Amino acid sequence: MTLPSRLRQLGPALLFLLLLMIVVAACGSGAQSSLAPGATPSPTPVATLPQAAIALQPAKPDNVLNVLAFLFTPIFQVFFITLVVLEKVTGNIAIAIILMTILIKVVLIPVFRRQLVSTKRMQMIGPEVKELQRRYKGDRVKIQQATAALYKERGVSPAGCLPAFGQMLLLIPLYSVFSQGLQNYNPQAMLDVFGVRILDLGCQAAPILDATKQHVLNPCLNPTAFGVNWGVPEVIIGTAGSLFSGLSLLAVISSLVQFVASRMTMPATAPNASDDANVKTQRQMAIFLPFISLIYGSILPAGLFLYWIVSTVFSIVQQYLIIGWGGMFPIFGWTPGFAVGHTPRFPVAGVSAPTTTTRAAGAPARTTERSSLDRSASAAATVRQRGRQGRRGRRR
């Protein structure tokens, strides 16, 4: 696998880490930036108030670094208002997070479906693309032109990284919703839209701090459900607060469901492709990448992992209905009976070559790469046949 291909595989995970660091930098440059949605709580001196003890306010683009937080503020408010309404209806913040995740995924069904269909169709014509690469080996320009012509002929549009990029961008405001909205003693201002108060939370007038003056004891929303505080990192081994400092059970579950989802998006293993270096590398990446979550499990709030787990499970169901089990099996050489010969409920239509060519009157005939090659081969065969006939005539 080439370096650009590997970067595309690593892109989503690296992008999230990069964007997260950008937001931390943008929101850590002063008092106002600490109020901006997307700010990351950081250790503060005892003489100063923790961020959760400062009323949460919409970000202001008063400097270059705060512009990013300002741009994400409307998205933050949409998610936060939705979460608060669901929490008031259900009375349970964990159930509210699950319902909000499902709503987001339902809205994104068309986008995700187009991405799945495009991925599946590109896998279908993968052997033809490899043939073009073999045929024009060493001529990168010709390979790109022939591949683009093949995509156009078959009606295949590469999905690209835009859907994945969009999903990763959503994690930034969601991170702020869980880490700040659920911990702040007064996030009321985030429920005011164009001067209209969507919901009155009845927050207390002042924060109540613990003995260390580092933690707020009276968050306006109840962040705890099922014994878990969904606004802070939750670890089962070690301590929370920094990379590699602890192991999160939610991060383990998130890694496992991501592993299943990533394997399902890969093409089923063909017997003649078992020794393909690219296939081996892709499958190794599909095993390795999902477990990056274990690295930052001790610094991200539990609510964000709950969102990611539910979101991934929803995606697995979509993938099962559209592309089936994909490359999930065999795993460690084992293929269960239910996966053998499985046909998805809504299979992707094939991308067979067109049998006829239709063109407007007076328009030049469209010549495809395949028809050109067929004519060239036919012409070469005719020349050889005539040559043999000529030699036989001369011998007579």
Tokens of 210: 């613990």
Place of tokens 């996966």: 339
Q: What is the CB neighbour count within 10 angstroms for residue 229?
A: 18
**DSSP symbols for 76-101:** HHHHHHHHHHHHHHHS-HHHHHHHHH
Asked whether residue 379 is domain-assigned, the answer is no
What's the distance, Cα to Cα, between the start and end of the chain in Å? 59
Asked whether residue 269 is domain-assigned, the answer is yes
From 192, 209, 231, the end of a domain falls on 231
Same-domain status, 108 and 249? no
Same-domain status, 48 and 175? yes
124 touches 179 (CB < 8 A) = no
Taking the C-alpha atoms of residue 395 and residue 19, their distance in angstroms, rounded to an integer, is 79
Same-domain status, 313 and 223? no
**DSSP symbols for 196-249:** EES------SS--B-TTSSSBS--SS--EETTEETTS---SEE-SSSTTSEE-H
Which residues lie across from 200 on neighbouring strands? none
26: domain range? 1-122+160-231
161 touches 8 (CB < 8 A) = yes
Q: Which residues of the chain have pLDDT under 70?
A: 1-47, 159-162, 269-279, 350-396
Asked whether residue 133 is domain-assigned, the answer is no
Asked whether residue 375 is domain-assigned, the answer is no
Asked whether residue 36 is domain-assigned, the answer is yes
Same-domain status, 100 and 89? yes
274 touches 217 (CB < 8 A) = no
Place of tokens 């070469």: 380
Same-domain status, 251 and 214? no
From 172, 206, 231, the end of a domain falls on 231
Same-domain status, 223 and 250? no
Q: What is the CB neighbour count within 10 angstroms for residue 21?
A: 11
Same-domain status, 227 and 252? no
Taking the C-alpha atoms of residue 134 and residue 184, their distance in angstroms, rounded to an integer, is 60
3 state DSSP class of 123 = helix
Q: pLDDT tens digit string along 204-218?
A: 999 999 888 888 999
Same-domain status, 12 and 81? yes
Same-domain status, 292 and 191? no
The predicted structure's pLDDT at residue 160: 62
3 state DSSP class of 330 = coil
Asked whether residue 84 is domain-assigned, the answer is yes
- Count the domains in the chain: 2
Q: Is the pTM of this model over 0.85?
A: no
Contacts 24+ apart (CB under 8 A), 329-335: 329/268, 330/269, 331/263
Same-domain status, 114 and 43? yes
Asked whether residue 360 is domain-assigned, the answer is no
Same-domain status, 276 and 187? no
Q: Give the single-character DSSP code of 347.
A: P
Same-domain status, 117 and 4? yes
Asked whether residue 26 is domain-assigned, the answer is yes
The predicted structure's pLDDT at residue 278: 65
Q: Is the peptide bond before 37 cis (omega within 30 degrees of 0)?
A: no
The predicted structure's pLDDT at residue 352: 64
From 231, 249, 269, the end of a domain falls on 231
